[in-house]
Structure 1
């Protein structure tokens, strides 16, 4: 039940002891402020790594070819490795159980694109329908490339949001035709990509269509696939190592040659990031706990001093008939009130500072520094509990002192 007299007493005590209250509040607010800033910066580093991997599926594998750097089985170095359609069948037959999505890929750079006088150059990729989840492309209108498009070698394309913005301005691109290197293609879909503007300036077309126009003899540029998500990081890395090995054997490449066939497995990067983030979280947690402990010690020392300072006051209250329970309750309520207000103030200041710094920290690889509310609220509650306990123990001892002893206290 709300006791107005008790609250008036608390506010009178606070107003008469401004310095003492300010010091206790500063200790609590500063601890929560540091805690908020620390976790905010830590989350900003996490967001940086998440942004780096946002444009592609986390279980993606890309296979590219190059030139050999070592002679092998009578073949000279400097030989160009050329992937063809039979490599697609070879990979799928060999690793069918470990592959989730698969797409060969043909890339044409700086393709001239035009629509009613608007022109620009883009990269055109010939892909399978399975390529969409590899790039995490989200269709905002229409559809992606389909199996029927592949069979019919249809002249259709899915374009990124920025391509639509560049060529069509404020118009809708869906259903319209774009000229690519003098050939007309119908826009069947518009997509956005979490990777940002650069990833939204790609144009996707059916693999068979692009191969028929630009690549003789069933040639292709690279492969993209996602491994079975049930694989652990170590299993995924073993899978890509075996994939590299068998492709080198098929194309007669020295096993030590690192340039002829390159397999990029996102599982390796993900594993490294996870390890880094684990270490970072441990460091942040360790420093955060240290900050809270420092705050708890500060509160405890201040509360012991406050109760000691108020010994005579407690003696007078007991002489006037105050019960030990009411004395303990008053001191604890004051402790909880000051701790809660100061903790909330520290939280608000910390959140404001993080928002104010915001984009300015990106040059230090800290993106969107922020902190989850439940983390800081939890830390504040811990400090409130610490303040309660810190106030209760000396208050309990003081409430047991006889009035005559308390009045004679120096």
Structure 2
């Protein structure tokens, strides 16, 4: 049952010994404060790593043109290495089992006119798979399909901000855009988490831009995503094998690092995974160290508090208080101080993270925050440690005879 007298006595004791209570509370609050900030910073770093992959798929491989740095098979150095549709088909056929999506890309800046306005935009010719490689979402209409690609159709997909720029209070779907005298039908409007720059782009079939504007089958680059089922190690091997076969195909020296530029996100992903794992372990160690320091601190304080209250315990016993009630008063008082202090430490920690959060972005820490469950768990650990630390000396003190307690106090 709820004992009003017991609680009144507890709060009177806390009020009477404010210094003691503040000292205990400060130890707990500081431990929770540090714990909150450390885990918040760790989460901020993880958010930064996640943000690196927000623009494109995290299993992407890019194949870009380069320049030979060494002569090979009678061919001089300084040759520019270009790709074309036959290279694109070769990669699809040769590595079909390892490829999830693939797109041959080509583009430049064009002047684009609508009925209402005009402007200069980067337009890229892509295959239907490009939508999934770049993680774009279709807001209206659709993306380029295989029929558009095979038949060189004059269709175009535009970013959300392009629609806002060129069309006034109306949808762009079904309307036409003039690209250097050629009319293209807008079939889709997309959004992209990559930001404003990504949403000011336009896409058409690669075959269309090759036939109408370029006059050959050259490609600027080839993008693909590897099949996730092959695993990280095989993805790295796939990247190496892809580079090796392209060097053979393009007559490039095996040790020429500049001619065939293959960027495999698997390598970066593996490095980031190792870094985040190491960071996680470090934060756990530091967090546990902070908790242990808090536990030791609150334990020492509780032992000191019990010793300091020896005389008080003697008086209580002399007045007929049972050992159980004496222990209960000390433990409940400890739990109240620890719980309130832990909550205060949590509030201050969260406040500090919100205050310094924006300034931490320059140090690659994005939106540092911590899940309340972690902090609540840490607070309960400190409460348990404080209660346990106070229990044994309190129980021992409660068994002392009143006369001895009064004499030693």
Identify whether the pair has TM-score above 0.5, normalized to the shorter chain: yes
DSSP-derived class of the 2:33 partner: helix
Query: Structure 1 residues 405, 263: CA separation in 2 closer, same or farther (over 3 Å shift)?
Result: same
| Stretch deviating more after TM superposition (388-397 or 334-343) | 388-397
Compute the displacement of 1:52 (Å): 1.7
Q: Aligned partners of 1:24 and 1:121: how far apart in 2? A: 66
Deviation at 1:181, TM superposition (A): 2.8
Structure 1 residues 40 and 84: alpha-carbon distance in aligned structure 2, compared to 1, 3 A threshold:
same
For residues 362 and 239 of structure 1, the distance between their equivalents in structure 2, rounded to whole angstroms, comes to 35
Question: C-alpha distance in 2, partners of 1:185/1:325?
Answer: 86
Worse-matched range after superposition: 178-187 or 351-360: 178-187
**Alignment of 1:365 onto 2:364:** yes
Conservation of the 8 A alpha-carbon contact between 1:35 and 1:288: yes
Aligned residue in 2 for 1:274 = 273
2:332 counterpart of 1:333: yes
Name 2:259's counterpart in structure 1. Answer: 260
Note the alpha carbon deviations across 1:252-298, whole angstroms, 9 max, x for none: 11111112111011111111111111222222222111111111111
Instruction: Indicate the residue corresponding to 2:165 in structure 1.
Output: 166
Question: Deviation per CA, 1:106-147, whole angstroms, max 9, x where unpaired?
Answer: 122x21122234332221111111111111111122211111
Would you say the 8 A contact 1:51–1:195 is kept in 2? no
Mapped pair 1:8 → 2:11: no
Q: 1:351 maps to which residue?
A: 350
Does 1:130 find its partner at 2:150?
A: no
Whole-angstrom CA distance in 2 between matches of 1:321 and 1:180: 97
Q: Does residue 1:30 correspond to 2:30, yes or no?
A: yes
Q: Show the 5 A alignment for 1:84-95.
A: 84-95=84-95
Displacement of 1:171 in angstroms is 3.8
CA distance in 2, matches of 1:165, 1:9: 69
Name the SS for the 1:120 alignment partner: strand
TM-score by length of 1: 0.96
Q: Distance in 2 between matches of 1:158 and 1:378?
A: 50
Q: Which residue of 1 aligns with 2:249?
A: 250
Residues 63-212 of structure 1 correspond to what in structure 2 (within 5 A)? 63-108=63-108, 110-168=109-167, 170-212=169-211
**Using the alignment, how far apart are the partners of 2:168 and 2:277 within structure 1?**
45
The alpha-carbon distance between structure 1 residues 400 and 124, as it changes in their structure 2 partners (threshold 3 A), is: same
2-structure distance, mates of 1:251, 1:275: 35
* 2:255 alignment partner, SS class: coil
How far has the Cα of 1:170 moved from its partner?
A: 4.8
The CA distance in 1 between the partners of 2:197 and 2:185, in whole Å, is 22
Kept after mapping to 1: 8 A contact 2:58/2:266: yes
- Residue 47 of structure 1 corresponds to 47
Stretch of structure 1 that moved more, 177-186 or 146-155: 177-186
- Partners of 1:183 and 1:64 in 2: how far apart? 29
Name segments (4+ residues, structure 1) moved above 6 Å. Answer: none
Structure 1 CA distance, aligned partners of 2:355 and 2:67? 50
Going from structure 1 to structure 2, the CA distance change for 1:277 and 1:170 (only over 3 Å counts) comes to farther
What residue number does 2:60 align with? 60
**2:315 equivalent in structure 1:** 316
Comparing 340-349 and 378-387, the one that deviates more: 378-387
Match of 2:394 in 1: 395
CA apart distance, 1:94: 1.1
Q: Which runs of 5+ in 1 are unaligned?
A: none
Of stretches 301-310 and 198-207 in structure 1, the one that deviates more from structure 2 is: 198-207
TM-score between the two structures when normalised by the length of structure 2: 0.96
Structure 1 position 157, deviation (Å)? 1.6
**CA-CA distance at 1:175 after TM superposition:** 2.7
The offset of 1:337, in angstroms, is: 0.9
8 Å contact 2:156–2:187 — kept in the other structure?
Answer: yes
User: 1:355 offset after TM fit, Å?
Assistant: 1.2
* Distance across 1 between alignment mates of 2:73 and 2:5: 96
Distance 1:38 1:263 in 2: 37
How far the C-alpha of 1:183 sits from its partner, in A, is 2.3
Query: 1:78-121: CA deviations, max 9, x gaps?
Result: 2222212111221112111111111111122x211222343322
